[in-house]
Amino acid sequence: MSRVDLTFVRQPAMALAVVVVAAVAVPQYWLFLATSALVSAVALLGLGIVGRAGMNSLCQLSFAAVGAWTVAQLNVWQAPGTLILWTIAGGLVAMPFGILIGLPALRLRGVHLAVVTLGFAAAAAVVVSAVNFPGVDTYQQVLRPEFIATDRQYFVYAGLLFVVLALGVEWVGRTRMGAAWRAVRFSERATAAAGTSVARAKLSAFALSAFAAGLAGGLLAGQVGMITAQNFGVIASLALFVVAVMAGSEYVFGAMFGGFLIMFVPEFFRRAGISQDWANVLFGVGAVQALSQGSSIMEGLARRLRARRPAPTPPPREPLDGGTPPLGTKPLLKAEGLTVRFGQVAALQDVDLTVPEGTVMGLIGPNGAGKSTLTDALSGFIRDAAGTVALDGRSLDGLPVHRRAAAGLRRTFQQDRVPTGLTVGAYLRFAAHRTVTRDELEDVRDFLGCPPAEAHVLDLDVGSRRLLEVAAAILARPKLIVLDEPAAGLAHAESIALADRLIEVPARFGASVLLIEHDLDMVRRACATIVVLDAGVVIAAGPPAEVLAKPEVARAYLGDEVALT
């Protein structure tokens, strides 16, 4: 029987406990500040979503202003649904703004994206201070329903809203969309190669982040009754970002702790007779410290907890007699006239390649021969490659990477591209890009000797990560898998064991394999036929023993450390 994974409930449940205790224990005097802390925590939770996807947003309070504006307008109209529905509407109205600001993120990264979001924050601040919020001119307070009329009741309401949002964020974090955010942060190329649209992953993160900010704005409108532009200034947005970096708002407790810091540290300074502005200086120092250590406060704590966990020992991967490499039948992949130039370098020159169905075919060649370029051209990473590529009779020309993956062409990478923020099971499910049963997952995991599904990718050795990438490609059930040096990081015996398993892939999983490798023992073991590239040109093709005996192949390798004996 499959077990339901409820680990996503853990942090929101603990947050609920904190809210319940605080609702009873916080004295009346501190309730207003405590509610403000929860409002900031809601906005921080949203920042954590774009943070999960590796992006920076400095305009979170601009989205909050949209939410607050919506609530104020619905209040003026006395729209049905009371403050609670108005707040949700505020979140929804903020979402398209999030997508709009997310659009530059499709091309920009790091500091460039930060500058764009800062520009938006500045522009939004000018707009909201030039035009009054609805109801301000007529002194119309945002009305709260009776059951959340008192400060304590409103605190509980804000706390519950935070917990429900946290539950939603944690749940989405466990879905394919959440895995896509982590994957995009780690490698956009690998995310696309796993069949996931990088654009959709980024835009969904921005949209949900803006939704959370919109909720925070609506919550604030209900708390203070009458909102002004000062609530949404650029400096306040910057402070929120800085605290998110310091506390770690990707974690529910990081968001909660951040909200507490934003509200209570300035208050502490005020009581000590020091300017509250010093709080921002303190936050800045904290963020610099977090960036230089490479982890926020919550990430540091999580690392310490992880360090107590024993690292999973990779299962033994013994060579087994996988039989003879299968010879293919009809053509599956057909590439014709592939040509790629990098300036003066002709990386591929008029390359024709046919991979038959039901086979494991090798692609070898000395360093710089053009093997990775060919993989990139086939999988769609080089959009301006000349020539044509067809898979199973269907043209892939002009299709972006994720569409080629969906059409049945999967690839792996020379460098480790398995996102560290996931468990083995979560990664396999994400990269499979289809619904897989637990049995299917266990079958493929076992077949390749990958660590258990509960193990964290972060705890794995390089060899296990390479195998995990191969397992994910198999689990996707593509027509063709292009493996770019899958044995890099594996011991020789493990490479041979992998070769034994690859031989079984066509019959067992219905996928042909194009194996790019420098380990010629592995190639001889796994492949029925091989193709040799040299200086971007195919110089030989046929059965391994025959091809490797050719003098022109030996010449291509001369000077290279790979021996052909």
Ligand X SMILES: Nc1ncnc2c1ncn2[C@@H]1O[C@H](COP(=O)(O)OP(=O)(O)OP(=O)(O)O)[C@@H](O)[C@H]1O
> Of 485 and 494, which CB lies nearer to ligand X in the complex structure?
485
> Of 370 and 506, which CB lies nearer to ligand X in the complex structure?
370
Determine, following the binding rule CB under 6 A, whether residue 562 of this chain makes contact with ligand X: no
| CA–CA dist 462, 451 (Å, integer) | 12
Binding ligand X by CB under 6 A: which of 119, 168, 368, 400?
368
How many residues sit in the footprint of ligand X (CB under 6 A)? 11
> Of 427 and 557, which CB lies nearer to ligand X in the complex structure?
557
Q: Are the beta carbons of 261 and 283 closer than 8 angstroms?
A: yes
Instruction: Give min distance, CB of 565 to ligand X, in A.
Output: 20
Instruction: Give min distance, CB of 372 to ligand X, in A.
Output: 3
Instruction: Give min distance, CB of 85 to ligand X, in A.
Output: 53
> Of 314 and 368, which CB lies nearer to ligand X in the complex structure?
368
Instruction: Give min distance, CB of 562 to ligand X, in A.
Output: 10
Closest to 469 (Cα-Cα) out of 414, 549, 407, 530: 414
Segment lying near ligand X (by CB under 6 A), choices 61-69, 133-141, 264-272, 365-373: 365-373
Determine, following the binding rule CB under 6 A, whether residue 213 of this chain makes contact with ligand X: no
> Of 195 and 544, which CB lies nearer to ligand X in the complex structure?
544
> Of 101 and 377, which CB lies nearer to ligand X in the complex structure?
377
> Of 56 and 412, which CB lies nearer to ligand X in the complex structure?
412
Six token digits for residue 174? 């466990």
Instruction: Give min distance, CB of 381 to ligand X, in A.
Output: 10
Instruction: Give min distance, CB of 554 to ligand X, in A.
Output: 17
- Give how far Cα 473 sits from Cα of 91, 408, 415, 551, Å: 38, 10, 15, 35
- Give how far Cα 186 sits from Cα of 52, 182, 252, 421, 443, Å: 10, 6, 21, 9, 27
Six token digits for residue 147? 């059951």
Determine, following the binding rule CB under 6 A, whether residue 365 of this chain makes contact with ligand X: yes
Q: How many CB atoms lie within 10 A of CB 516?
A: 25
Segment lying near ligand X (by CB under 6 A), choices 235-243, 364-372, 387-395, 416-424: 364-372
Closest to 419 (Cα-Cα) out of 409, 428, 411, 406: 428
Determine, following the binding rule CB under 6 A, whether residue 367 of this chain makes contact with ligand X: yes
Instruction: Give min distance, CB of 371 to ligand X, in A.
Output: 4
| CA–CA dist 544, 321 (Å, integer) | 18
> Could you give the 3-state DSSP secondary structure of residue 497?
helix
Segment lying near ligand X (by CB under 6 A), choices 50-58, 180-188, 265-273, 367-375: 367-375
> Of 494 and 534, which CB lies nearer to ligand X in the complex structure?
534
- Give how far Cα 133 sits from Cα of 30, 67, 79, 165, 235, Å: 27, 11, 16, 26, 20
> Could you give the 3-state DSSP secondary structure of residue 335?
strand
What mask of x and - would describe binding to ligand X in positions 315 to 354, judged by CB under 6 A? Answer: ---------------------------x--x-x-------
| CA–CA dist 121, 65 (Å, integer) | 10
DSSP structure string for 437-496: -HHHHHHHHHHHTPPPTTSBGGGS-HHHHHHHHHHHHHHT--SEEEEESTTTTS-HHHHH
Determine, following the binding rule CB under 6 A, whether residue 556 of this chain makes contact with ligand X: no
Q: Are the beta carbons of 542 and 530 closer than 8 angstroms?
A: yes
> Of 49 and 541, which CB lies nearer to ligand X in the complex structure?
541
| CA–CA dist 167, 13 (Å, integer) | 8
Q: Which amino acid is at 369?
A: A
Segment lying near ligand X (by CB under 6 A), choices 31-39, 90-98, 102-110, 362-370: 362-370
Instruction: Give min distance, CB of 460 to ligand X, in A.
Output: 23
> Of 215 and 369, which CB lies nearer to ligand X in the complex structure?
369
Instruction: Give min distance, CB of 376 to ligand X, in A.
Output: 7
Segment lying near ligand X (by CB under 6 A), choices 61-69, 267-275, 318-326, 368-376: 368-376
> Of 296 and 412, which CB lies nearer to ligand X in the complex structure?
412
Segment lying near ligand X (by CB under 6 A), choices 1-9, 104-112, 366-374, 417-425: 366-374
Instruction: Give min distance, CB of 535 to ligand X, in A.
Output: 8
Instruction: Give min distance, CB of 345 to ligand X, in A.
Output: 5
Q: Are the beta carbons of 310 and 459 closer than 8 angstroms?
A: no
Burial code of 228-246, b = ≥16 C-beta within 10 A, e = fewer?
ebebbbbebbbbbbbbbbb
> Of 371 and 466, which CB lies nearer to ligand X in the complex structure?
371
Backbone angles phi, psi at 544, to 5 degrees: -55, -50
Closest to 40 (Cα-Cα) out of 200, 244, 185: 244
Rg over alpha carbons for the chain, rounded to the nearest Å, is 28
Instruction: Give min distance, CB of 547 to ligand X, in A.
Output: 16
Six token digits for residue 88? 């949700």
What mask of x and - would describe binding to ligand X in positions 369 to 388, judged by CB under 6 A? Answer: xxxxx---------------
Residues binding ligand X (CB under 6 A):
342, 345, 347, 365, 367-373
